[in-house]
Amino acid sequence: MTAFTALVLAGDRGEPDAVSAYAGVAHKGLIKLQGEILLARVLRALAEAGATRIGVCANNAELLAALPAARPVGVAVEVIAPEAGPSLSVLRSAQALGTPLLVTTVDHALLKPEWVKQFIADAPASCDIAAFLAPEAAVRHDAPETKRTWLTFRDGRYSGCNLFLLRTPYALKAIELWRTVEAHRKKPWRIALILGLGTLARFALGRLTLDQAIADIGKRAGVKAAAVRSNYGLAAVDVDKPADLDLVRQITGEQP
């Protein structure tokens, strides 16, 4: 898949965002890093990786006003209105843009074309959906000061990289499962029933490898799911908190 279609999630949930407030902007996508807003950085990285069509799921007026100047030359960029929650936004966007579809977020401040290329190249041709994850050792090596949320498996700890590949139309089944889990996020017992008690028990006991866990969840959704291990530790660094923004500024040589 040389040329591809991508989706950038940049919806405004209508509630105060700590990072935007910290940076003094109306939306995280408007934060400047090395003289360029995050929206433009993410779009450029995707274009350089081979994206020829990019959907931007956004509704913030100031961010949308900045989109024409941020659009890479030669790339078709279209706005998609966000839905209620990220899972439904991805579902509706995928229905509009089709598959294969690479999905990322506007706060992926350090996104590099080589990360995207590795992910697409290493995603198994047999999978319907794939997720990009960075091993702890790679993250610790590239960003020793970062504080990430770790997923612990029998073969090590991993951090998500905010990159997903919906390779086939069947991938939408997995989004439907995500949507169901999202709807019951305040009822852990319901989530346990949805994902399967056996899978959760083996995960809690440390008996599952990353690949087994992804495959099990995919099977529950009726799809073939795969995990792709990132060669780049920085791929796990996004801007969820003010401290994350300070970190990416340090990494890029800017002073917080």
Q: What is the widest separation between alpha-carbon atoms in the chain?
A: 50
Among candidates 2, 117, 102, which has minimal Cα distance to 54?
102
The per-residue pLDDT for range 7-55, each reduced to its tens digit, is: 999 987 666 789 999 999 999 999 999 999 999 999 999 999 999 999 9
Task: Give the rounded percent of residues in the chain with a pLDDT score beyond 90.
Answer: 68
Taking CA atoms, 168 is separated from 126, 173, 228, 245, in Å, by 10, 10, 16, 34
The per-residue pLDDT for range 126-143, each reduced to its tens digit, is: 999 999 999 999 999 999
Query: Model confidence at 184, in pLDDT bands (50, 70, 90)?
Result: very low
Strands (E), the chain: 4-10, 32-33, 36-37, 51-58, 76-80, 101-105, 129-135, 151-153, 156-166, 225-229
The per-residue pLDDT for range 66-97, each reduced to its tens digit, is: 999 999 999 999 999 998 888 889 999 999 99
- Structure confidence at residue 208 (pLDDT): 81
Handedness of CA 43, 167, 125, 129 (dihedral sign): positive
pTM, two decimals, is 0.90
Please give the single-letter amino acid code of residue 42.
V
User: Which pair of structure tokens corresponds to residue 161?
Assistant: 């990289």
- Structure confidence at residue 55 (pLDDT): 98
**Peptide bond before 144: cis, by omega within 30 degrees of 0?**
no
Mean pLDDT for 178-197 is: 52
Q: At how many degrees (to 10) do helices 188-195 and 197-204 cross?
A: 100
The per-residue pLDDT for range 193-220, each reduced to its tens digit, is: 555 666 666 666 677 888 988 888 888 8
Mean pLDDT for 101-110 is: 97
Using alpha carbons only, give the angle 38, 150, 228 rounded to the nearest 5 degrees: 70
